[in-house]
Amino acid sequence: MTNDRGTLVVISGFSGAGKGTVSRKLVEEYGYSLSISATTRKPREGEQDGVDYFFKTEHEFLSLVDYNGYIEYAQYVGNYYGTPRKFVEDCLKEGRVVILEIEVQGAMNIRQQYPDAILLFITAPSASVLKNRLVGRGTEEPAVIAKRMCRAVEEAESISVYDYIVNNEEGRIEECVEQIHSIIESESCRVSRRAEFIAELKAGLAEGAD
């Protein structure tokens, strides 16, 4: 049972919960499409244009905003980040599953524009595991750690916006990836997503015993 229209899947989660790796594995293993964000931030070492981000000047970024070229965009710490509209819309028209790895604010924008998007939040199995990850190897400044912790508290507040919360346990990333795949497959059986099939079924039955 596939949808005629594709499925938009938003993946968010705590910093260090492994969103990026999970998203890449979903693409590799299940052939899903990954939306690449545009940003005005400078590339970091090793980052490639068109792979990690589409790197743009502020002028380039903002002209695309004028043309309604992003399905959501936001400014963080002086840089713009946005989800290019065309790629996502093309994928949906082709009936594909498209993954957006974005932050909470973006996820809420997506929910408004695409009410049938599936919103997933990736977490560590417990607060203490999460804290250990955030604290890291103990080499970080206490101020940096405190800031991360503060952010995690904020992120936790936003979980209620999401449809699903998925556990990504250390060394068991495959389980997390399979669980997400399974959620996407299960969602395709939702009565609310099968309106066309159900209408056909009803019409076919109503034709009587011919």
Give the dihedral sign, CA 47/120/77/147: negative
Residue 32 binds a copy of itself (CB under 8 A): no
Residue 143 binds a copy of itself (CB under 8 A): no
> Which stretch in 27-35, 67-75, 102-110, 143-151 sits in contact with a copy of itself by CB under 8 A?
143-151
Q: Is the separation of the CB atoms in 187 and 7 below 8 Å?
A: yes
Q: Which is nearer to a copy of itself, 51 or 144 (CB)?
A: 144
Q: Which is nearer to a copy of itself, 43 or 125 (CB)?
A: 125
Residue 152 binds a copy of itself (CB under 8 A): yes
Q: Which member of 135, 139, 177, 196 binds a copy of itself (CB under 8 A)?
A: 135
Residue 198 binds a copy of itself (CB under 8 A): yes
Alpha carbon separation from 8 to 1, 83, 89, 93, 184 (Å, rounded): 16, 12, 10, 11, 10
The Cα 119–Cα 151 span in angstroms is 20
Q: Which member of 38, 64, 130, 177 binds a copy of itself (CB under 8 A)?
A: 130
In this structure, the number of other CB atoms found within 10 A of the CB of residue 187 comes to 18
3-class secondary-structure state, position 107? helix
Residue 172 binds a copy of itself (CB under 8 A): no
| Residues pairing with 166 in the sheet | 122
Segment (H or E) for 47 = none
Shortest gap between Cβ of 135 and a copy of itself (angstroms)? 7
Shortest gap between Cβ of 117 and a copy of itself (angstroms)? 14
Range 198-205, long-range pairs (CB < 8 A, 24+ positions): none
Token representation of residue 166: 């998925």
Residue 128 binds a copy of itself (CB under 8 A): yes
Residue 15 binds a copy of itself (CB under 8 A): no
The Cα 135–Cα 130 span in angstroms is 9
Q: Which residues bind a copy of itself (CB under 8 A)?
A: 1, 121, 123, 126-128, 130-131, 134-135, 142, 145-146, 149, 152-153, 156-157, 159-160, 162-167, 179, 182-183, 185-187, 189-191, 194, 197-198, 200-209
